[in-house]
Every structure is written in structure tokens, then in C-alpha cells.
Structure 1
Amino acid sequence: MLFGVLLFGVLLSGCGATSAPPAPVTITSEIFSPLSVNARKLTIVENWQMPVTAPYVGHRQTPYPSNLVSDWASTVLVPAGGSGELILDISRAAVMQEKLVREDSLTKTLTDEQDVRIRVELEAQLMWLQPVGDAQARIKLSAVHSVTVAESATANDVQAAINDSLQAALAALDLQARAELSKVDNIVLQ
């Protein structure tokens, strides 16, 4: 009887054990260093309407993917000029979670196969309008990152994979933006 109660207690305590939730995606100047841009103001336009149907799961993320792109722009693209405007037009900020097809064989049922593909897609346009000197530029930015998650993964593991994919896509977007901005004369102030 005592053994049964102890066994029940051990099993019950195992049910209450949970893993800590993954760290959220953050945008800081330590991760993304600011750029002084030759513009008086930065305008961010979100032209992306996030679908709330499968396979899209961006609406379940905190913060939303488009908000992460906005935060990135506010942190990195720092207006420091006396005139002009820099406009970031976010046209896509999607997070998709798709089930992968698995083989139906006896050997595959005993292995830990990849179960889910996480895909993050970020697309935006940077438009620079500088009335002094009549300068302007348009830059298209696009970043995609994809990972797969094993079928043994917990919900926290899947969320961690989504967060890592968002961070990787933002880093790719940042690298592309810096490379493209360096090609435009007089847009980045030294």
C-alpha cells in the first residue's frame, strides 16, 4: 500500500514538471548596431495583413513578426539628417509551420523523424527621398529562414525553433540592408 502511494506520488510529480519557455526574440543595439541615416524622419508602413489560417502561425507570436521588423528599423535606421525621409514599407512578415510527410515503414516508426518545417519570410522596401540635391533610392529587402523540428520536440522546442528562425531572418535582413545601403551615395552618415 505504501509503495503504491509513493509510486503514485512520483508519477504525479512527473506530470507537473515543465520546461521553461524559450527566450523571446529581442531587438537591441547590442545585436544590431545603429546606422545614422541622412534623413530627418523614418516612416514605417505595414502593408502586410497576416493570415490567421494554416500554415501561418505568425499571429500566435509575441511580438508579431511585422512588429519585430518595425523594431529593427527603429533601432538600426536612425534619422540624423536635416531633411529628407526614409520610408520602410513592410510587405511580408510571415511565419509558417507545415507538417512534413513521413514514410510508413516499420524502421521509420522507430526513429525520431523530422515532423514540422518552420519557415520565416520577411520582405520590405526602403525608400529614401532627399529633396536637398534631389536624391532618391529604392531598396528591396528579402530574407527567408527555414528549419525542421523533430517529432519528439515539445511545444517549447517548437517555439524556440520559431524564435531562432525569426532572429536568423532578421539578421539576414539586417545584413542585406547594410550591404544595399552602402551602395547608395550619401544615405549613411559617417
Structure 2
Amino acid sequence: MPSPFAATALIGESFVGDGANAAHTNVVIGRKGGPVETAWATALATPSAGHVPFMTVVRPSVPVKPQTLFVNKAVAGGELHQRATWGSAQAGLARGVMDAVEEGLIPAETADDLLIIAAVWVNPAVDDLDVSFRNQRAAGYGAVRAAVTATPSVADVLAAAVRGPENPFYTPTPEVLAR
């Protein structure tokens, strides 16, 4: 079976938890020297107001491997939201990526050759840093797992679509879904 890391880019998504402490993470994984590296470096070098991508670290001066760029989806505002973004969510993402390496989803011998871009949602209403960490750890791992295993499959998506789209912010009524 060919390695999934032969692909130009792997893309995954995971949503874990509910309410203010839920975590929603999207990842793109690719090899250094390819388009993911260009996107990684460009994002790091071109922050915008309120969105300053940063390297995810296990602790200061120890970046997680594969090196992972944390891109916040929500402007970090207020002390607790900032602590969650740069603290618990970053730590959770680092641990989730390390879990994926420890479990072999990302082979340790390829970790230095890969880069991850993680777009991470931290709700501005976050109120529990420990729950934020646990949810982000699971969402980071889940997004990497989805990318590496190419899940969900098209069949899974079509099966889920039978009920219609829904997300934590909106579910259309049957009348709206009617063609």
C-alpha cells in the first residue's frame, strides 16, 4: 500500500465537544519542498490584523514535529480567550499531533520531512482551559487521522447528506431542504 504522504497535500477536519469549549480544527499536511511549504511560509510571513499564525510548540523552543503552524480562526480577544488560543488550544494541538506520531499515523521517520497547517477555532466565549485543551487535543488528532486516512469517504459523505447538512450553528428545516 502506498504511503499517503506521497500525495501533494492531505486535508482533514475534526470537530470535538460542544458549547464554548468545543474545538474545530482543519489541517493540511504536506512535504517540505512542495506547495504546503509555500503556503506554510507565506502564512507565517503575512499575518493579518488579529490573525497571527505561529509555530505550535510542545514548550518554548521545542516545536512539535511535524512542524505545525497554528492559524487562529477567531481573533484572540480578552484575557481568557487569549490564554485559550495561545495556551490550552496550542498545547492541545501539539499533544494531538504528537499522539498521531506516537501511534504511527505519521511515521516518526517522516516527521521532519512534513509540515502541517492547522486552522483552529477557539470560541471567544471559552470558559474552561482544561476542557479546551482536551477538546483541541482530540480535534487535532482527529483532523490528522482524517487527513492521513482520507476519511470520510465519498460514500460516508453521501450517507450523511441523506439527512441534510447540519452543524453546531445551523441546521436547515425540512422545508428549506426541499428542492
Question: TM-score interval w.r.t. the shorter chain?
Answer: 0.3 to 0.5
Higher helix share: 2
Q: Which of structures 1 and 2 has the bigger CA Rg?
A: 1
TM-score (norm 1): 0.32
Higher relative contact order (CA 8 A, sep 6+): 2
TM-score (norm 2): 0.33
Higher strand share: 1
